[in-house]
Amino acid sequence: MRHARRRIVRRVTRLAAVGGLLLGGTMVTQAAMATETPATSATPRAAPESVVTNPGAALVKKLGTARTAGTWLDDEGRPVVAVTDDESAATVRKAGARPKLVDHSMNELKSAAATLRSAPTVPGTAWVTDYRTNEVIVQADSTVSASDWASLTKTATGIGSYVRMERTAGKFTTRLNGAQPILSTGGRCSAGFNVTNGTNDFILTAGHCGPTGSTWFADNTAQQQVGETVQQSFPVNDFSLVQYASGKAGDGADVVAIGNGNGVRITGTGDAAVGQRVFRSGSTTGLKDGQVTGLDATVNYPEGTVSGLIETNVCAEPGDSGGPMFSEGVALGITSGGSGDCTTGGTTFFQPVTRALAQLGVTLIVSAPADGQGGGAAASGGPQPSLSPTQAAIAPGSTSPGSTTPVTGVGGTSLAARLTDPNAIGPGLLVIGGSLVALVATRYFRAEQDRRAYRDYYSATWG
C-alpha cells in the first residue's frame, strides 16, 4: 500500500512539473512579445508627400522674380514676402501674408550671385542671398588671404551696395561622419535618409563621402557590410546613393536616429524656408537645432564648388556629414559642410533633399503621417499651396523634430535580448526552473528505489 502511494505521488509530481514547463514557457513568450517594439509601417510611395513649408512661395511664384525678392517666416511663423512696389504689396496683404517693400528684386540679387560665380574661384568663400536684409552676403573664412579678400571686395563693390562682405571664424570644410555611421577606406560618413527606386533600397548621403564604387561597413573591422556607392554627384551637388548589400533597408527604414535609442519618423519631403526652425542629427554632436538663414547658397570648398545649398545657423562638427536635416518629420536636407563648431557656434550648409531625389530618380521611404501632422499638398495633381497654416507656418520655437519612436533595426531590442531579460520574464523563468527541478527529483527518487529493490532481490537470491 505504501509503494502504491509513492507511485501516485511521483506521477502527480511529474504531471505538475510538465504543466509548470508549459505554463512557464507561455509566460516567457508573452513577456517577450510584450516588450517587443511594434514595427513601423514604412511604405515606399510613388510620390512622397510634399509639404508646404512657406505658403508665401506661392505668392512669389504668382508675382514673379521682377516684383519680389524672396519670402521667409517671421518669429511667429507667419509668411513675409519681399516686394518692390505698392501694387504687389497690396496683393500680398490681401492674400493674408505680410509684405515688405525692398529696393532690389530677386532678378538683381541673382545677377549679383552670377557675377560672383564668374569671378576667379577662391576656396574658403561662400555667398548666399539674405531675403530679410535684401542683400547678397559674401563670407570668407580664415584661409582666405588678404590679396584674395581684396580682389573679392573689389568685385563686390562693382556690383553694388547690396553685396555685403563678411569674415567668418574657422574654415569651410565638408563634414564627415553622421547620425548612423557608415565607414569605408575613404573615411567615415552618415546615413541620411532611406530611399527606394521601387526595386532596391538605398541610403541617401553626402556626395563628398566617397566616389562611386566605395564599399561601406557598419563597423570599423569591415565585418558588417552595409552596401556600395552606386551614384555620386560632387562637386556642383553634394549627394550620393549607397545601395544596400541585401537590396532592402529593412525594418525602421522610415526612421532617422536622434540618439539614446530614439528616432523620428519621416512622413514626407519639403523645401526649406528662410526662418524655419530645423533639426540636424549627427554622430559627433547628436541632435542640434537652429534656423534656416538663406537658400541657394554657394560654397567654395577646397575640394570644389557646390551651389544651391541651404544655409543654417545649426552647428555641426567634423563627423556630422551626410546626416539628415528635418522638421516636424519632414525631410529637408543632408549635411554638406560649414564652419565653426558646437561650442562657439557656426554655419552649416545642407543639400536640399527634393533636388537630390529628383536628380537621382528615387523616392523617400516614409511612414504614413499621423492625423494632424505634416499637412501639405501633393507635388503634382493635388491642390495648390494656400496661405493656411502648414507644417512650418507656426511659431518656430514651437516646432519639434517630429514624431519620436524607438529606433528599430539599429538600436532596437532583439528577441534574444528580450528572452534573457530577467526583469521582463523573471516569473516565467522561475516556474520553468522549479518544474525542471521537480522532474529531475522524481527521476532521481525512482532510480534510487529501483536500485534498492534490485539490491534486496539480489541479496535474497544469492545470500
DSSP secondary structure string for all residues of 323-365: -EEEETTEEEEEEEEEEEETTTEEEEEEEEHHHHHHHHT-EEE
Pairwise pLDDT comparison (412 vs 165), residue with the higher score: 165
Segment 418-442, tens digit of pLDDT: 333 444 455 666 656 666 666 666 6
- Residues with a catalytic annotation lie at 208, 238, 321
Pairwise pLDDT comparison (441 vs 363), residue with the higher score: 363
**Which pLDDT score is estimated for 300?**
96
Mean pLDDT of 214-222: 81
The confidence band for 286, taking pLDDT boundaries of 50, 70 and 90, is confident
- Which range has the worst mean pLDDT, 61-70, 223-232, 377-386? 377-386
Q: Is the dihedral of CA 220, 222, 226, 227 positive or negative?
A: positive
**Which residue shows C-alpha cell 513577456?**
31
Alpha-carbon distance of 336 to 339, in angstroms, equals: 11
Mean pLDDT of 352-376: 76
Segment 70-93, tens digit of pLDDT: 999 998 889 999 999 999 999 999
**Long-range interactions of 102-107: CB distance < 8 A, separation 24+:** 102/69, 102/134, 103/134, 103/162, 104/69, 104/134, 104/160, 104/162, 105/65, 105/66, 105/67, 105/68, 105/69, 106/60, 106/65, 106/66, 106/68, 106/69, 106/70, 107/65, 107/66
Alpha-carbon distance of 280 to 128, in angstroms, equals: 20
* Contacting residues for 390 by C-beta, under 8 A, at least 6 apart: 51, 52, 53, 54, 55, 375, 376
Q: Calculate what percentage of the chain has a pLDDT beyond 90.
A: 46
- Which range has the worst mean pLDDT, 25-39, 47-61, 410-424? 410-424
pLDDT at 412 over 60: no
Q: Which of 23-27, 182-186, 256-260 has the highest mean pLDDT?
A: 256-260
Segment 435-463, tens digit of pLDDT: 666 666 666 555 555 556 545 544 454 44
- Which range has the worst mean pLDDT, 26-40, 95-109, 311-325, 358-372? 26-40
The amino acid that residue 252 corresponds to is: G
pLDDT at 399 over 80: no
